[in-house]
């Protein structure tokens, strides 16, 4: 994908950076070469972004052409908002105070070049501001009043305003930015589209292990995608991609949800999409949704402080209590007596006004049906941990033991299990879901729908091998083509 730096006057950009085409702003707006260009990253370094200026129209027309402008129109509007500046000042207050504490004067200017500053000690602050206002060159003004620092203003700067002593640093960071995150690694073939994979290698119970991530990357490259691993610090660079694949454990009050929302707003293909994260991360919502659509579940009651007596009378003991946002068998407790039920429910209700009380259904294993693009992808049996009622058993210090697993092709799983999973998953959307099902006496009961199911090398790919990753990447490519062209060729 071409990288275009657009300036009012090419003489303003005196920096030699490989992999970049320098374009005069009026030429970008009127020359058919650029209007017909199918894909491009447009780095708008015009002198002004004021409404209906040349710089404003560069970002506006870039978006209309399906190019990826930085900054985009939303960021341009945000940079004009003093209300948003005050909000950012509050949100980053702790980081601002910590970063600027050593400064002796009462005013400070922070120059931000592609998310970095010439002084490493300000890099975290520079990156956070860049993530909130993604623009190539920024300048933030801070003032200190009564020993407290405040963000007074933030805005874009043109290349001509960069101090001469900063020129070498700007060349360094710009070169690294345009070279991509895998600098020096040759591509096997020219990729048509860029896929961001959000992944945290330090997450102990993430949805994909390192071998699986490598296989996703290889599968994407085989079909013409260019997958890049990104982290939570790459929030400001999302607009440069065509799609986002989240391979971190998702949660609403978490950076994964912010990434999904930002990507969706930028028009990227997103898995998991923000709506799926909202719906699947809350078991209260899922219980109501499944009940409303007459999908069988264990007997369920939404419990609150005023109906605990009725809840235990309806469900009985033993029963299972679930925090609405529980995951990985955490926040899920079996209560065997009424006293234990009231005690554990009381603890949970200090965090949420409603908890889920559910009939206890013991089985040797749970079915997990993975569904993507409204089609079954694979099926696993997750067996309960030894001498335990859940798939994962944790001791008092958090160490865990897991039950064994058995993976099988979807076509060999019981038809009723797969049909039930598809019916449940389709209530959420057409994303990648894992539907957990218990099968008892020939009947299927949906336990939950996960928006971020595990795809681990050596487990979920045990049957399909590389084909599993190919199928997932093919859906991404199909959706990118539809979003760009209205049809998947």
Identify the sign of the CA torsion 455, 461, 467, 471: negative
Strands 193-198 and 225-230 turn out to be parallel
Report the C-alpha dihedral over residues 248, 249, 255, 257, rounded to 10 degrees. Answer: 110
What DSSP designation does 260 have?
A: H
The pTM for the full model equals 0.77
Percent of the chain at pLDDT > 70 equals 95
Confirm if 200 and 206 have CB atoms less than 8 A apart.
Answer: yes
In this predicted structure, which of 78-87, 98-107, 269-278 has the lowest mean pLDDT? 78-87
Q: Residue 37 is encoded by which pair of tokens?
A: 């260009």
Spatial distance between the Cα atoms of 479 and 50, rounded to a whole number of angstroms? 34
Q: What is the pLDDT of residue 191?
A: 58
Span 297-317, pLDDT tens digits: 999 999 999 999 999 999 999
Please report the domains of the chain, with CATH numbers, ordered by start residue: 3-76 (3.40.250), 79-166 (3.30.470), 186-274 (3.40.50.20), 299-360 (3.30.1490.20)
Average pLDDT of the segment spanning 42-61: 89
Q: Is the dihedral of CA 172, 177, 183, 186 positive or negative?
A: negative
Query: Does residue 186 surpass a pLDDT of 50?
Result: no
Helices 466-485 and 210-222 pack at an angle, to 10 degrees, of 50
CB 6 within 8 A of CB 58: yes
Whether the Cβ atoms of residue 351 and residue 419 lie closer than 8 Å to each other: no
How does residue 180 score in pLDDT terms, banded at 50, 70 and 90?
low
Give yes or no for residue 485 having a pLDDT over 80: no
pLDDT at 182: 35
- Asked whether 272 and 260 are in contact (CB, 8 A), the reply is yes
**Contact, 476 vs 220, CB < 8 A?**
yes
Three-class secondary structure of residue 49 per DSSP = coil
pLDDT at 188 over 50: no
Taking a C-beta distance cutoff of 8 angstroms, is the pair 455, 472 a contact?
A: yes
Q: Per-residue pLDDT tens for 359-405?
A: 999 999 999 999 999 999 999 999 988 878 887 777 767 677 888 99
CA distance 250 to 259: 10
Looking at residue 451, its pLDDT comes to 94
- Confidence grade of residue 181 (pLDDT, cut at 50, 70, 90): very low
């Amino acid at each position: 994908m071409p990288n275009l730096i657009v300036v009012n006057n090419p003489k303003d950009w005196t920096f030699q950076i490989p992999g970049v085409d320098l374009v005069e702003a009026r030429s970008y707006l009127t020359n058919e070469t650029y209007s017909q260009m199918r894909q491009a990253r447009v780095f708008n370094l015009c002198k002004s972004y004021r409404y209906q200026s040349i710089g404003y129209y560069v970002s506006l027309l870039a978006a209309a052409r399906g190019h990826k402008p930085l900054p985009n129109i939303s960021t341009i509007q945000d940079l004009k908002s003093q209300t948003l500046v005050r909000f950012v000042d509050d949100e980053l207050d702790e980081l601002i105070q910590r970063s600027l504490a050593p400064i002796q004067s009462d005013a400070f200017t922070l120059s931000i070049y592609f998310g970095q500053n010439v002084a490493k000690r300000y890099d975290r602050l520079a990156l956070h501001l860049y993530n909130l206002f993604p623009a190539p060159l920024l300048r933030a003004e801070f003032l200190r009043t009564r020993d407290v620092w405040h963000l007074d203003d933030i805005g874009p700067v043109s290349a001509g305003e960069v101090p001469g002593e900063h020129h070498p640093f700007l060349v360094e960071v710009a070169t690294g930015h345009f070279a991509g995150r895998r600098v020096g690694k040759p591509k096997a073939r020219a990729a048509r589209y860029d896929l961001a994979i959000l992944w945290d290698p330090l997450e102990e119970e993430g949805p994909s292990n390192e071998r699986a991530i490598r296989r996703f990357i290889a599968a994407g490259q085989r079909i013409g995608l260019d997958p890049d691993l990104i982290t939570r610090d790459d929030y400001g660079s999302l607009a440069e991609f065509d799609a986002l694949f989240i391979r971190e454990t998702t949660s609403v009050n978490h950076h994964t949800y912010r990434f999904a929302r930002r990507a969706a707003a930028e028009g990227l293909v997103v898995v998991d999409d923000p709506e799926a994260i909202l719906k699947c991360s809350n078991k209260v919502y899922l219980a109501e949704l499944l009940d409303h659509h007459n999908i069988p579940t264990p007997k369920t009651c939404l419990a609150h402080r005023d109906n605990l007596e009725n809840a235990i009378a309806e469900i009985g003991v033993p029963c299972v209590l679930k925090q609405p946002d529980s995951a990985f068998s955490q926040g899920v407790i079996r209560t065997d007596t009424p006293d234990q039920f009231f005690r554990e429910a009381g603890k949970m209700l200090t965090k949420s006004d409603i908890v889920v009380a559910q009939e206890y259904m013991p089985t040797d294993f749970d079915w997990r049906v993975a569904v993507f693009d409204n089609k079954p992808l694979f099926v696993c049996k997750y067996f309960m941990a030894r001498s335990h009622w859940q798939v994962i058993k944790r001791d008092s210090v958090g160490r865990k033991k897991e039950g064994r697993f058995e993976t099988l092709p979807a076509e060999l799983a019981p038809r009723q299990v797969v049909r039930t999973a598809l019916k449940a998953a389709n209530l959420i959307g057409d994303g990648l879901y894992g539907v957990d099902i218990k099968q008892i006496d020939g009947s299927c009961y949906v336990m939950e729908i996960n928006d971020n199911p595990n795809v681990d090398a050596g487990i979920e790919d045990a049957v399909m091998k590389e084909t599993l990753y190919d199928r997932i990447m093919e859906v991404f490519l199909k959706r990118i083509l539809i979003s760009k062209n209205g049809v998947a060729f």
